[in-house]
Structure 1
Amino acid sequence: MSKHSFPGHSQLTRAHKFSMAGVAALGAAALAVTLVPGHDTQAQAETVSAAPVAFTTDAGAQQIKDVHASVTDQQATASEKAKAAAAKLKAQQEAQAKAEAQKKADAEAKAKAEADAKAAKEREAQQAASRAAARKPVYANNLDGWIKQSLDIMKAKGIPGTYNGLYSNIMRESTGNPNAMNGWDVNAQNGTPSIGLLQVIQPTFNAYHVDGTSTNIYDPVANITAAANYAADKYGSIDNVNSAY
């Protein structure tokens, strides 16, 4: 502690020093006026007015504090506004990024769904083909197999006829020989011999040929089916034929 300090008193602030100097100056001026005889009131006033006054009031100090506080508040407000703007921009950017990510995810999901649907459709088609192939009958390469295959074709095409009707006419016409040919009847004499299991001439075979069968008149299934188609047109069914037709 300085030797000029007084116990129990804090050091004077700069504002306090200025205030004390002002009071001292005023006191000195007043004393000078009192000690000089012959001066009037106006002179005294001029003396007082001329005395320098240098002090700071508590109100002035408060105004400085208020200005400082106002500046501090404005700075804080500007900082908060900047933070709020930055937060808003960040939120907008995050929302945009999220929307773009969702859009991409939706597009990928749609593409995957379409690919899955296409794959499922292809699998279904393959399975259907496999089932159809599995259900497709295997016909023996003999008279029984030829008749059965022809009957299935006739059924699909709406051509009437039965196994017995086909068999009985085949046995009467060719005894079951697919290469049989009649070279002596009127058809042969006219240049169109009867051929095959059901002894069909070429013009009749051509006219009543059934799609899906061979175009070769000697083919057993094609011969039977064309003859049955002709008999259905002329006689109602091959079952109604009991003699040469």
Structure 2
Amino acid sequence: MERNMSFSADQVKQIRMRLVWAQAEMIPGTSEELQVFAAGDEDSLEALKVDMEEGTLGISQPALQSMAHKRWLQICVRVPQAWSGDIDVDSVSGTVGAHGLDGGELVFATVSGPIHLEDMRARLLRLRTVSGAIAGVGIDTERLAVRTAAGQIGLREMRFDSARAFTVSGTTELMLREGCGTLELQSVSGAVSVEVEGTACAQLHSLSGQFLLDEALRGEENGLKIYATSVSGGLAVKRRKKDHEDRHIAD
């Protein structure tokens, strides 16, 4: 079964989703209206709440709704390409995905569900999980905050003015473009690896973990500033090879 709803984009300042196990996806649409498409079993669709209140489009599942046998629910929100409001998505175990969005303050959080982002632009981007994986490519934001207890963090082709990432035991792998500002990394036991373009000044501190700083970056005082600390997790900062260097090696 399906439910399709449309809202005037001019009246929507924020999209707020509170989900339990439903899968959620947010993508740009071709319509000038903000559209919500939901597909699932009859009981799950009837229980799904969608409403507008004071500029906030709310989409929510009942907090106590369990994922019983044969229950399924997929939600797709399509936003006009010119829309640049705030987004706040919080899920327990469902997969959360978004791509091609340009917004103000974007928040994506889960307990165990994975988060996947692609081609995202924002003034502020917050990503948070307990054990769910966080993956993304093509992210451009003024401020970035990432936090997980045991989930894996893998973000590629990123640019930011300032960023902070924290993990307890999950591994963190970041691949950065030129033009980044300041990056702060904290880990207890999870390994942290950063690849940078251009110049970078890195300060690495670990109580018992190993750390590696690329020879090409030693002595640098300009460019991206990296401050990384850990208790026992390994820390590594490497310089990415530029395209022309990759082609030269291939030849």
Please indicate the TM-score interval, normalised by the length of the shorter structure: under 0.3
Structure with higher strand content: 2
Structure with higher helix content: 1
Which of the two has higher C-alpha Rg?
Answer: 1
Q: Give the TM-score of the pair, scaled to structure 1.
A: 0.18
